[in-house]
Structure 1
Amino acid sequence: MVDKNEIKGGAKEIGGKVKEAAGKVVGSERMKAEGKIDQAEGKAQKNYGKVKDAVKDQVGR
Structure 2
Amino acid sequence: MVIQQRIDKFDENVNKRGSVVTAKKESKTPVGPLVLGILIFVVIGSALLQIFKGQ
Query: Same fold by TM-score, threshold 0.5 exceeded?
Result: no
* TM-score, with structure 2 as normaliser: 0.43
Q: Which has the larger radius of gyration?
A: 2
Determine which structure has greater relative contact order: mean sequence separation of CA pairs < 8 Å that are 6+ residues apart, divided by chain length: 1
